[in-house]
Amino acid sequence: MEKLIITAALTGAEVTQDIQPNLPITAEEIAIEAEKAYEAGAAIVHVHAREEDGSPTQAKEAYQEIKEKIEARCPVIFQPSTGGATWHTAEERLQPVELSPEMATLSTGTCNFGEDVFMNTQEYMIKFAKKMKEKGVKPEIEVFEAGMIANAQYLVKKGLIDTPLHFDFVLGVPGAMPASARNLVYMAETIPAGSTWTVAGIGRHETPLAMMAIAMGGHVRVGFEDNIYYKKGELAKSNAQLVERIARMAAEAGREVATPDEARKILSIK
């Protein structure tokens, strides 16, 4: 079984300091949190940038500052979001890709997202895939519904993304595919042969699905974007605390945690 890649989703676009006081907001805070997550075992940090007032932004300059500060602290893989917030335009969402990060997320379909709709038309998907290929960025295919796997395969057929693919199954978003053991197994068995995958369980589903992924040979994403609690009624102290738990679980299962360089090799990042 391959070594386990742990991704720390540090901020998200919806979480606020009102509900999670330990949420990093500034570029410096995000970089410090990234370093702590790396030291705890994370090979990838997934980042949504924030304005000074905490509101989400997709501005290229904001991501550039975060990227530079993280790179000055640790060798973790920097993975910006191209999802942004549901109200950002496609052009706004694409800005971080201009920085040519090693990875970036690529959502391959539209779904309900709580009270909102996360819009990813075929036009969006093609535009995002072309830009990532142009900039040499490895896409992480974000999947909220099973049909998004087929959309990713369409992009492969069109020559817009290259294999092997890496998927992130985001399960438990209100309005999208529920977080269940059966759904995770179905997703993992549906992706093309030779692909790798990560699971991001939302809220209370984070740890149970992480346990499954460790046993199944998949990879794991944790962090404040997906879950702000360490256990019921107890807020997590940091993203690193959530990463540490996954690293301990993997050790107990006899599965080693990947370093950033090992993750690059597993994910075929050039």
Q: What is the pLDDT of residue 104?
A: 98
State the pLDDT at residue 1.
87
* pTM (2 d.p.): 0.97
Instruction: Tell me the C-alpha distance between 44 and 39, whole Å.
Output: 11
Tell me which fold the domain 6-266 belongs to.
TIM Barrel (3.20.20)
In this prediction, residue 270 has a pLDDT band, given cuts at 50, 70 and 90, of confident
Rounded to an integer, what distance in angstroms lies between the CA atom of residue 94 and that of residue 48? 12
pLDDT of residue 196: 98
User: How does pLDDT run across 74-93, given as a tens digit for each residue?
Assistant: 999 999 999 999 999 999 99
Q: What is the pLDDT of residues 183-194, one digit of tens each?
A: 999 999 999 999
Helix orientation angle between 60-73 and 27-40, rounded to the nearest 10 degrees: 40
d(C-alpha 178, C-alpha 155), whole Å: 25
Mean per-residue pLDDT, 92-115: 97
pLDDT of residue 112: 96
